[in-house]
Structure formats: C-alpha cells, structure tokens
C-alpha cells in the first residue's frame, strides 16, 4: 500500500469494493458519454473481473475506508514488442475528491510498476475526443497521442 501525502492510499481493489466500482462505472458512462448503463450488468462485469484475474485488475484510492477513485488495468499482448501493453480503463474519481491528485497517484502507481517489469512494454488509454480536460491531465502526466484511432464493433 502506498501512503499518499494527500491522505489517501492506493491499493488493489477487493471483491467487497465491487458495488462501488460498478456504481462509479455507471457514473463515468453518464458523465463522459451520456450513457445510462444497466447497473446489474455492470456489477456482474466487475465481479467477473475478480472471478477471472486474467481479465485485469482495479486499483483504487481509499480514504477513511471509502473508495474515492478507481482505474482498471487490462492487458493487450503485443507480438510486435513481445510484451504486454497495459490499458487503463474505467477511470473515475468521486466528484468531491477531484483536483486532489487522486488520478495522478493512481497513474503514478501503475507507471512505476510498469517501469520495473520487463514484460510490460507500454501503457495506453483511450479518451473521448471531446474530453479536453482529461486529455490535458494525461498529457501533463507524460502521455501523448498515439496516432491510432480506435475503431469498434459492439453488439450492444
């Protein structure tokens, strides 16, 4: 556990955090994309991650027992680089806790771990094109535009 000077801790999420993580994911979708997600499906998805650790893992910021921020790390294998790319997803900081360095602390924890692991070759995330404030945060942390554009097919 990393003690933060801001009085919150960065730690791996636990199964008992699943309901909060699912709630934050629903809030995230509504705030950033105007999407209303089905909370039951999201909760099953979060629990599914804990049931199968190969899918990824959540890191959380916790203060006085409460989860105040989160991010999810999922894995992509890069045959070009012979290593894992860590994708940061489901980034959310409780509105009352923003501008305290919560995301910065979460990101720095991921970044420092990735730097020490030979099997990790990079960190990526995707951001909504109109979310300029998030893009500025990511750039200030040393991330840059990749040159890739994400294309997708989603069943729902």
Cα–Cα distance for residue pair 85/148, rounded to 1 Å:
15
Encode 13-44: b = buried (16+ Cβ within 10 Å), e = exposed: beeebbebbbbbbbebbeeeeeeebeeeebbe
Indicate the pLDDT class of residue 148, thresholds 50, 70 and 90: confident
pLDDT digits 0-9 by tens, 7-36 = 999 999 999 999 999 999 999 999 988 999
pLDDT digits 0-9 by tens, 32-59 = 889 999 999 999 999 999 999 999 999 9
Cα–Cα distance for residue pair 118/92, rounded to 1 Å:
28
Q: Write down the pTM of the prediction.
A: 0.88
CATH 3.40.630.30 is held by the domain 9-140: yes
pLDDT > 60? residue 4: no
Domain boundaries in the chain? Answer: 9-140
pLDDT digits 0-9 by tens, 96-112 = 999 999 999 999 999 99
Torsion of CA 51, 81, 118, 14, to 10 degrees: -20
């Amino acid at each position: 556990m990393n003690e933060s000077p801001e009085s919150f801790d960065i730690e791996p999420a636990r199964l008992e955090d699943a309901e909060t993580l699912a709630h934050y994911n629903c809030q995230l979708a509504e705030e950033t994309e105007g999407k209303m997600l089905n909370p039951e499906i999201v909760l099953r998805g979060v629990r599914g991650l804990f049931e199968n650790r190969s899918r990824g893992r959540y890191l959380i910021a916790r203060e006085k027992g409460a989860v105040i921020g989160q991010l999810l790390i999922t894995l992509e294998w890069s045959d070009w680089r012979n290593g894992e790319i860590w994708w940061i997803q489901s980034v959310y900081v409780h509105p009352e806790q923003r501008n305290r360095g919560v995301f910065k602390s979460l990101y720095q924890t991921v970044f420092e771990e990735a730097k020490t692991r030979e099997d990790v070759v990079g960190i990526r995330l995707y951001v909504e094109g109109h979310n300029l404030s998030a893009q500025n945060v990511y750039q200030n942390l040393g991330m840059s535009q990749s040159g890739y554009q994400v294309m997708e097919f989603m069943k729902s």
